[in-house]
Amino acid sequence: MRFIASWVFKCPYWVYLKNKYPEYDGISRESVKRGREAEIKFREVLEERNVKFAYQKWLTLKTRYFTIVGKADFLTSDAVYEVKSVRRFREPSRNWVGQVNLYMAMSGRRKGVIVQYDGQGFEEHSLRFSRSLLDESISYFQDLYSGKFTRDYTQCSHCSYSFICLK
């Protein structure tokens, strides 16, 4: 079984519904466009800094029962960069931190950076690899693998599956 790193710490029922009803997963074209724009702009920043990088690098972490995969936005010799398009800067969510921590484990990097882009500028949040967070992430996916699809009602307001889940 294969899980996507960006799913870490999202509502487990969302993951279940995303697999069962992928046609209802609603990411707007505008959101995709803003995300690509943020990546392009940050690519320019890395190039201006003369930093060598790999873009959209596929990474894999295999466990005994399942595999976690993901694409790090930018991978340098010493860090993983994940770019997030936001309307306003905020503290990185647990989901974002867990995702970057997984990428650090997959790539062997000890440093991760969550880069937020608000359409005007960037805000960078540096992270250090956390073994305990990696263990929590693997445990989260282990629960999903075992069929534990509990609901996290705190995430319903922005979930494309709430019309199914909240019935």
Domains and CATH numbers, the chain: 2-165 (3.90.320.10)
Check if the beta carbon of residue 76 is closer than 8 Å to that of residue 47.
Answer: no
- Mean pLDDT, rounded, of the chain: 93
- Give mean pLDDT, residues 25-39: 87
Q: Percent of the chain at pLDDT above 90? A: 75
DSSP character for 68? E
What confidence tier does 160 reach under pLDDT thresholds 50, 70, 90?
confident
Distance, CA of 88 to CA of 25 (rounded, Å): 24
Distance, CA of 1 to CA of 50 (rounded, Å): 39
pLDDT at 31: 84
pLDDT in tens, 145-159: 999 878 888 888 878
- Indicate the Cα dihedral angle 123, 35, 62, 113, nearest 10°: -10
Distance, CA of 21 to CA of 142 (rounded, Å): 21
pLDDT in tens, 119-150: 999 999 999 999 999 999 999 999 999 998 78
pLDDT at 28: 76
Backbone φ, ψ for residue 160 (5° rounding): -75, -5
Beta-carbon neighbour count of residue 86 at 10 Å? 14
pLDDT at 167: 58
pLDDT in tens, 46-81: 999 999 999 999 999 999 999 999 999 999 999 999
- C-alpha angle 52-55-60 in degrees, rounded to nearest 5: 115
Amino acid making up residue 110: R
